[in-house]
């Protein structure tokens, strides 16, 4: 089974300065937001740390995408 990923291109791109600069910027932004390890996920202002939090990340994304009802409360399924 093949992933169809061009690894030579991927590795070459990872060595380019603009990619390195972007990685450093995003890493510093994450640290500034409170990240202290990997994997760290942000949904809005809420931070989730660790792969065991993926279910919570998914729920937070769904909640963030749920339309707000007339009473100002998010609609619940």
Other CB atoms within a 10 A radius of the CB of residue 41 amount to 19
For the chain, the domains span 7-65
Task: Label residue 8 by pLDDT band (50, 70, 90).
Answer: very high
Higher-pLDDT residue of 35 and 74 is: 35
**CA–CA separation, 42 and 70 (whole Å):** 27
Q: How far is CA 8 from the centre of its chain?
A: 25
How confident is the model over 10-69, as pLDDT tens digits? Answer: 999 999 999 999 999 999 999 999 999 999 999 999 999 999 999 999 999 999 999 876
CA distance 38 to 30: 10
What residues contact 76, with CB distance under 8 A and at least 6 apart? Answer: 66
């Amino acid at each position: 089974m093949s992933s169809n990923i061009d690894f030579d291109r991927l590795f070459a791109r990872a060595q380019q300065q603009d990619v390195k600069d972007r990685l450093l910027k995003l890493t510093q932004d994450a640290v500034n937001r409170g990240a202290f390890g990997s994997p760290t996920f942000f949904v809005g202002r809420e931070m989730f740390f660790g792969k065991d939090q993926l279910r919570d990340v998914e729920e937070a994304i769904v909640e963030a995408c749920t339309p707000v009802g007339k009473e100002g409360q998010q609609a619940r399924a």
